Chain A
Amino acid sequence: MTKTLYLIADLAGSRVAIESGLVESVVHVPDIVPAPMSDPSIAGIFALRSRVLTLIDTQFLVTGVQQRAQKGALAVVTEIAGHQYGLLVDRVHDVVAIDMKHVERSISAPQTWARYVTDIASHDGALVMILNTIALVSGQGALAE
């Protein structure tokens, strides 16, 4: 009977859930400064008040097509291993409690998603993929392993 709060969002057209404890805030990204020669999954860096955050092009990770992130795009702010990141999302919906009883064990995530998804749960009758945020910031290079 474990219920955890998740932020439900749309990412590359699919519905995903991010554990709310990991989410610091959801922001509209101000000016994005590109980071040349970096991993292709890096959309750039941006400032959030006095901090500098790294913006992750989540769509690229899943689809392999780089997103043209623009000022005002929506990002989920999270801290991973001492660094702060913004994960680009299309849309955020709500914070909901998902009962771990409802984890679907028989269905696995599509191959392009598999690396970034820990579980698949059903919520409100629809399936959502629960994201593994650490995998999202480990870059494309890790794919080769």
Chain B
Amino acid sequence: MEDLLDDFIAETRETLESLTNQLVEWERRPEDRALLDSVFRFVHTVKGSCGFLELPRLLRLSHAAEDVLSAARLGDVAVSAELVTAVLAVIDRIAELTEALETGVAIHDNDSDLIAAVLMHLQREGVVAGNGDDKYAPLEIIGEIQGSEPTLPGKSRSVRVSLSLLDKLMSGVSDMVLARNEVSRQLRKAGSSGDLDLSFARLSASVAELRDAVGMMRMQHIDKLFSSLPRLVRDLSIELEKEIDLRIEGSEVEVDREMVEALRDPLTHILRNAADHGIESAEERSAAGKSRIGHINISARQSGNQILIEVVDDGRGINIEKLGMRAVAAKVVTKTEWQQMSLRAQLNTIFAPGLSTADKVTSISGRGVGMDVVRSNLQTIGGTIEIENQESIGLKLTLRLPLTLSIIAGLSVRAGNQIFGVPRSSVVEMVSASNVNVKFEELGGEKIACIRGKRYPYKTLEDILGIQIGDQSIGESRTLIVMRPAVGATFVLEVAAVIDNEELVVKPGAPLVMANGLFAGTSLPDNGRPMLLLDASGMAAAMGLSAVPQDENGQSATEADVVSKGPSALLFVASDGRKQAIRLSAIDRMEDVNAEQIQFVGGRMRLSVDGKLYDLWEYDDRADDAVVNVLKLTDGDSSCYLAVREVLDIFSITGDIAPSAQPELHEGVITVFGEVVELRNMFAFFETSDRRRRKRGVAPLCFIDCADDSQWERTILAPLLTASGYAVSFDRNDETHAAIVLHRDLAIVDAATNDPRMLHLRDSRHAAVDNVASIYRYDRVGLISAIEEKLAVGT
């Protein structure tokens, strides 16, 4: 029983979380049937479980809500704002009581008021609540079946695990990886046998998989944090009687789990401030010539080794004069000091303890918890907050958070005898220092790098870090990395060599190490030797580049440059020995792979990288090379690899592109450095590439109407649909809300011809029944395109 109760609590909590947004959405579009259905399903599930677990208070609440909602579903009751509010109040109480079940805290019992508020809607519409039970009896029965499996469709189950346990797991797995590497070194030394190698490879692969999984466990979409905000704003706007439109962008940005928790309070506070002090009342807004509805935009994005969260409102902004008066009154600054301060410094006094610009203390903000707390909360997780004020137009707050503990794509580079990590996001390109396109100029004793005619500030990493140039690098060609920091001008950093391209787990560095501003943290790669991660902005600062003013010039110069010079492309020698070119924008990166990673399976060459299979084009398996040069191509969604013999150079496409006689293979013919080469057509690599996975947020539900023992549907059709990215159900309860209904029984065709979701499958290639459109059941392509067509019509 105890277990059941725990399950119930966890499940209810989880469903509530995912429901929050739908609730707000529902209020905006009360007529939306799907939303009404999910709210109904929730209360219904709660009701079912409570009855079973003997939780009378929850039972009564959910029962009342269910009655009203089911009447609303039947159209007997109009869904009004009051009804939504009443139902939300009940759902809130359900949430409180559920939490209380776990904590044992008593919650004041005024449930009957809430229930009365809900049921009032039934009476008002003349539907007597008592009747409901008989009337909706059939629904109840359906509900009980659902109740026995109370998960929403498409929702996976989860458990709660303590963070410390997760950390322990994470460090355990990391240790395991290091131990594996050690074993692998030992094996190589001992000269191992084939069998041993094979079992070790298996162990190795599963360790890698495990590590990936554990890494994912720590990361979380920032959506987890954002999902509660629409509800918050909704409640605020009702309380303050202001209309506020909240927009959220970048929910897919991944941050560390702990970060999500640490951000919750500051973000809530900022939103409260924006709604309460920032956004004016509708009258004030129209008087000021603004739309009556206030807007708050929240966006998150990853920029280099930082996560940026911006909160923008179009309210009245901060009145600097008023702020000054308050600051002086609160003895934060003296009057003279205030007058001498820069505008920015004046603005920043808002972060001083004990300051508020609100005229009156409301229940929403101004309770002594000020921006100082927001800032100090952010500082504890290594973040900063910036403020951009446009009085009477709006306010923009930018929160910058470190990527601490997150995983970034990085390069490992060598300077002197030491290896450093560089976040790949700040790398624009890499060029060999001996490349013909690279020239060095001198200006007042300082070197300036000139790549393809464009000049950049330049320094070697050894210079910046004050370390010796390593012995190995003498005579070797060094590498130039063009870097663009999150803020500031683009510059060139010279390193001895670029070693590898890898995923780096960023760990915080001790304050003493970080104090010089050059490093973003530390990382422990698989070889067990820790390395310092370079901070692009810190490097720029060390080169004496000022961050702000050059930025815009540099930026626009770059853009102008691109426009005048045309798109960049890569010149390479293809596997067949001919020189060819490919657009640079399509190349994710260049890699060297082992020939062992390449296999001819499933009808084509494939390359396995980190446990995933990719299509590999133009691999010449007669060449007996142990290492193969490949280009990773991407179209944004999917990736494939192209094997090449040699990478030559990067150039800009200038002049005309002469059309090709084989447009499917070549985009055209261009002239590069006086030679005529073919420009490869990207389309060809992706058009035929394996695209079975649908890229959509939610898998559409396909209901397959068949007998319980039908083998074909279960063993052939269902796996095909699942593999193509659809959810499949055989449960008749799902029929009503399925996006597609598939069946093979042409006898029922007449009854349901009108259902636009219906797809008929036939057993033979030829249509068996005239005047009924159907698809041969083994016509995979036809089937998928028919489903897509129906989905497209449905939306």
Partner-B contacts on A (CB < 8 A): 30-31, 33-39, 41-42, 45-47, 49-52, 54, 81, 83-85, 137-139, 141
Residue of B nearest to A39 (CB): B512
A139 touches B174 (CB 8 A): no
CB distance from B509 to the nearest CB of A (A): 7
Contacting residue for B512 out of A33, A50, A52, A137, CB 8 A: A137
A42 touches B418 (CB 8 A): no
B510 touches A33 (CB 8 A): no
Given A49-B178, A137-B512, A139-B515: A35 and B532 within 8 A (CB)?
yes
User: Does chain A have a CB within 8 A of B513?
Assistant: yes
B465 touches A36 (CB 8 A): yes
Given A33-B531, A52-B524: A38 and B174 within 8 A (CB)?
no
Considering the complex, which residues of chain B in the window 530-546 have a beta carbon less than 8 Å from any beta carbon of chain A?
530-532
A83 touches B171 (CB 8 A): no
Q: Given the complex of chains A and B, what is the CA–CA distance between A52 and B466 in angstroms?
A: 23
Which residues of chain A have C-beta atoms less than 8 A from B507's C-beta?
A: 51-52
Which residues of chain B have C-beta atoms less than 8 A from A39's C-beta?
A: 512-513, 515
Q: Given the complex of chains A and B, what is the CA–CA distance between A104 and B532 in angstroms?
A: 43
Q: Given the complex of chains A and B, what is the CA–CA distance between A137 and B464 in angstroms?
A: 25
CB distance from A140 to the nearest CB of B (A): 9
Residue-wise, chain B 496-520 has the 8 Å CB interface mask toward A (1 for contact) of: 0000000000011111110110110
Leading 3 A-B pairs by shortest Cβ distance:
A50-B174, A36-B465, A54-B510
Contacting residue for A38 out of B178, B515, B531, CB 8 A: B515
B512 touches A37 (CB 8 A): no
Contacting residue for B516 out of A38, A45, A81, A84, CB 8 A: A38
B510 touches A83 (CB 8 A): yes
B510 touches A137 (CB 8 A): yes
Residue-wise, chain B 291-325 has the 8 Å CB interface mask toward A (1 for contact) of: 00000000000000000000000000000000000
Residue-wise, chain B 23-61 has the 8 Å CB interface mask toward A (1 for contact) of: 000000000000000000000000000000000000000
Q: Given the complex of chains A and B, what is the CA–CA distance between A138 and B510 in angstroms?
A: 10
Which residues of chain B have C-beta atoms less than 8 A from A137's C-beta?
A: 510, 512
Q: Given the complex of chains A and B, what is the CA–CA distance between A36 and B462 in angstroms?
A: 10
Given A47-B524, A50-B175, A52-B522: A33 and B515 within 8 A (CB)?
no
User: Does chain A have a CB within 8 A of B467?
Assistant: yes
Which residue among A35, A39, A41 has the maximum number of chain B CB atoms within 10 Å of its CB?
Answer: A35
CB distance from B532 to the nearest CB of A (A): 6
Contacting residue for B178 out of A31, A50, A83, CB 8 A: A50
Q: Given the complex of chains A and B, what is the CA–CA distance between A38 and B530 in angstroms?
A: 16
Which residues of chain A have C-beta atoms less than 8 A from B524's C-beta?
A: 47, 50-52
Q: Given the complex of chains A and B, what is the CA–CA distance between A45 and B529 in angstroms?
A: 9
Q: Given the complex of chains A and B, what is the CA–CA distance between A52 and B511 in angstroms?
A: 13
A33 touches B532 (CB 8 A): yes
B465 touches A85 (CB 8 A): no
Q: Given the complex of chains A and B, what is the CA–CA distance between A50 and B171 in angstroms?
A: 6
A83 touches B511 (CB 8 A): yes
User: Does chain A have a CB within 8 A of B154?
Assistant: no
14 additional A-B pairs beyond A36-B518, A45-B522, A83-B509, beta carbons within 8 Å, are A31-B528, A35-B519, A36-B418, A36-B466, A36-B467, A37-B518, A38-B516, A39-B513, A39-B515, A45-B513, A50-B178, A83-B510, A137-B512, A139-B512
